[in-house]
Chains A and B, each alone.
Chain A
Amino acid sequence: MTRFLVKRIGMMIVTLFLIALLTFVLMHAVPGGPFTSDKQVSKAVMDALNEKYKLNDPLWKQFLDYMRGLVRFDLGPSFKYQGKTVNDFISNGLPYSAKLGAITLVFVLCASIPMGIISALRNGKWQDMLVMALATVGVTIPSFVIATGLIYFFSFKLGWTPVYGVDKWQGYILPVIAMGGYSVSFLARLMRSSLLDVMGQDYIRTARAKGISETRVILKHALRNALIPVITVLGPTVANLLTGSFVIEKIFAIPGMGGYFVNSVTQRDYTTIMGMTVFYAAFLIAMVFIVDLFYCLIDPRIKYD
């Protein structure tokens, strides 16, 4: 187990380094620079800016400087927002994104797993049809359409929830539904097919033959095995939800991380692009790692040596 952990952590660091390197190279290969604004500045100002942010240094030196900051968790100053650092964006935005994401995650789990179970156990009946119809809608309709529709009916027409922001707890309701819609649908379908598959296995028949109650068969024998594929996709899903959705944050005017991530790319805000990418990548890798550890708990047959 120790060997496995050391190996995995080593791999994670290498992966992160490669992601940083690749992002850095691609970012500088894209035409346009961070200091093109809506009004042209003179050459003298441009020179001063390039000098200040060390953009005149050779690329390899810029990269080394950046990595030196990164190991100290210093993501550098934003090139676009004066007096702000990338750490500011993360420390301000992450709490919003993470809180929204955590609530969405709870919603996703509480909705999708029961939906999948019901639809698998009532395979072919009206309950199954209903769940699968909902799931199809959730997968096919993009979140921004759901979000706009929800605001229009519940905030604008009925006035039950605020139009924007999360100052009040009611503000979380619509973004959570809009953001979680896809994951709920996806996980419900996955849960259903996985459970159906397990229910047809020999050991379930054996368990039933032994005279164990149906509830116990499902909870103890079927569900535990059926959850493995769901847990596999849960890692990336958690990372996705917690780091924020640009679209949802934009529509509901939530000051999370998503907006900075996307805007930094069009604005060529180099340090912000790097910082957000590396942060997101680290988060994703960590989540996948945690999921791998969870496998052992769920399925004793899986062992890491």
Chain B
Amino acid sequence: MKKFLSLLMCAVMLMTMVSLASADPAQEIVYALSNEPDGIDPGVTNNSFASPILENAFEGLVAYSTENGSLIPGEAESWTISEDGLTYTFTLREGLKWSDGTDHTAQDYVYAMKRILDPNTEAKYVDFLLGYVAGAEAYYADNSIGFDTVGVAAPDDRTVVFTLAAPAPYWIDILSMWTFRPVQEATIAANGERWTAAADTYVSNGPFRMAEINLGESFVLEKNPYYYDADAVKLEKITFRFISDLGTSLMAYENGDIDGMSSIPTTDMARLKAEDKGVVVSPSYGTVYYDINNAKEPFDNVLVRKAFNLAVDRLAIIEDVVQTEAEPAYSFMAPGYVVNGEDLMDTASDNGLSEEADVEAAREALAEAGYPNGEGFPEITLSYYSNETVGKVVEALARQLQDALNIKIKISNADWAVYYDDIIAGNYDIGAMGWSGDYVHPMTFLALFVTGDVNNNVFYSNEEYDALVKQAANMTDAAEAFQVMRQAEAIAAAEYPVLPLYYKANTMLMNQKVAGFFVTTSNGLLLKTAYVAE
């Protein structure tokens, strides 16, 4: 009898195990972030580590498709653009709600923009309003003139109108940034800037809402039942856990404790790919390059900049040093902007560069610049900010340049805070840098090289280029602007304002059971339609 009973129990246990295994998997994931964001207020922060929260807890007028990353209607179901390209009228979906269940109207967009234009808000991306929206600059300088003067209005509960100071055909792209997402006035009025400190005051409007905030440890998101498209949202819970040690997060990932992680240790990249461990590579709209101080001797000579560009073995840096998935770059401008099926960079020149170094040509260019065999060339400094990978690249780069050009190079490094101040002030020769587009439009790159631009840290200056960029910025027809921007890119890239190395690619690890997610070119992880498959 005893034997029979134990057999019976075994059978029951087996059956429950089988039924458990065939049940739907829990729609919960844990994703490791290597850094804690400096803030999660969409109006305030410009910190890329905030992206996983802001992309999934908030939604703006326009959103990214989770199928192909193209811009699609978000909270706005449709919009019209006036013929002069200045007035954008958005119609919101019906019955929008905040994550606390209260009504959410067009007025919330006006409030969000007004808040950004208040200097006390310390909005880091305020420039994207100042530079485009009519009246924004005057209002930011003096709030007392009244918000009526600014080109943001809500004539009724479902209409948002943006009026621009000058036509900008890429305004819709800019609007996709998290800066332009609405925030709830009630919670901010009640809690001040601490509204982002607790889950119950962190009211949002996206597919997910905040369930837990554990300072220094994690953010936990849950499905937002009030989201207009809640039926499409499958994940019930997302835990973003901060694990700053990549070795630890990789062991946790390979152990199955976490489902994904935002950064991959470079030394493990090759192995993880070979073992098919779920490496996800997605295109990015960004370029890794080295700033060259165009205003300083000897780099004010285009031939010197050319020589340096020719002397670099990009392939060796990508494959041997960084060990990443990336295309070599011959221009500052990254591919990725497509109009009528054509990429802006499709016809771009390689500017005489190739994936390997052309030492002969580099020496010739240097000789032509007046430094035959490197003679008389001053010792230059290659600066970088404290970062392990960048440090390796800098060493390789210095070796390549020294060997090819027979010149002396000193390496210097500092904390980012110190380093970046030096770059802005022009106290450098060559410095590690890079740019990731805030939005997918060539203007984000082109503006970097306009004379006097706040981000023009290489001090490149070319009147013809400046004129073309200005012209393109004001054109309403995307196809026409496309051609002008191509010309501008060609002019600047041919004068080697920077030392481009490779085009950035976003890499991350994700458990192969997780499907339906999308990574945008600005490395935004969209989990709206993600799910855990069996």
Contact = CB atoms under 8 A, between A and B. Distances in A.
Given A44-B126, A84-B197, A163-B251, A93 B45 contact: no
B247 interface: yes
B119 A44 contact: yes
A187 to B, nearest CB: 28
Interface residues of A, number: 49
Contacts of B79: none
A242 B39 CA distance: 28
Given A42-B126, A83-B197, A253-B244, A162 B46 contact: no
Interface string B113-133: 000000110111011001000
Contacts of B251: 151-152, 155-156, 163
B390 interface: no
Contacts of A155: 251, 255
Given A34-B417, A89-B216, A259-B216, 20 more contacts: A32-B415, A33-B417, A38-B46, A39-B124, A41-B46, A41-B124, A48-B119, A49-B122, A52-B120, A81-B38, A82-B39, A82-B193, A83-B195, A84-B215, A92-B215, A92-B216, A93-B216, A162-B257, A251-B245, A255-B242
B443 interface: no
Given A52-B122, A268-B417, A82 B242 contact: no
A82 B45 contact: yes
Interface stretch (B60-68, B307-315, B355-363, B418-426): B418-426
A45 B126 contact: yes
Contact of B417 (A36, A41, A45, A93): A36
Is the contact region of chain A dominated by helix, strand, or loop, or is it mixed?
Answer: loop
Contacts of A260: 216
A301 interface: no
Nearest to B37: A81
A82 B122 contact: yes
Interface in A61-120: 80-84, 88-89, 92-93
A255 B215 CA distance: 7
Nearest to A91: B215
A41 B195 CA distance: 23
Interface string A266-285: 11100000000000000000
A40 B244 contact: no
A45 B216 contact: no
A286 to B, nearest CB: 24
A82 B241 contact: no
A156 B251 CA distance: 6
Interface string A27-56: 000111110111111111100110110000
Nearest to B196: A83
A42 B127 contact: yes
A250 B244 contact: yes
A255 B124 contact: no
Contact of A48 (B122, B421, B455): B122
A83 B424 contact: no
- The interface centre, meaning the residue of B120, B195, B216 with most chain A CB atoms within 10 A of its CB, is B216
22 contacts: A32-B415, A33-B421, A36-B416, A39-B46, A40-B454, A43-B454, A44-B119, A48-B119, A48-B120, A48-B122, A49-B122, A82-B38, A82-B41, A82-B45, A159-B255, A163-B255, A164-B241, A251-B245, A253-B241, A259-B216, A266-B415, A267-B417
A148 interface: yes
Nearest to B386: A266
Contacts of B192: 83
Contacts of B349: none
A38 B251 CA distance: 29
Contacts of A43: 454
Contacts of B124: 37, 39, 41, 45
A43 B416 CA distance: 19
B254 interface: yes
A151 B130 CA distance: 51
A36 B255 contact: no
Nearest to A258: B216
A36 B119 contact: no
A165 B361 CA distance: 55
A24 interface: no
Contacts of B375: none
A255 B454 contact: no
A30 B243 CA distance: 29
Contacts of A251: 245, 247-248
A39 B421 CA distance: 12
Contacts of A255: 214-217, 242
B289 interface: no
A213 B41 CA distance: 71
Interface in B120-155: 120, 122-124, 126-127, 130, 140-141
B45 to A, nearest CB: 7
A37 B248 CA distance: 26
B302 interface: no
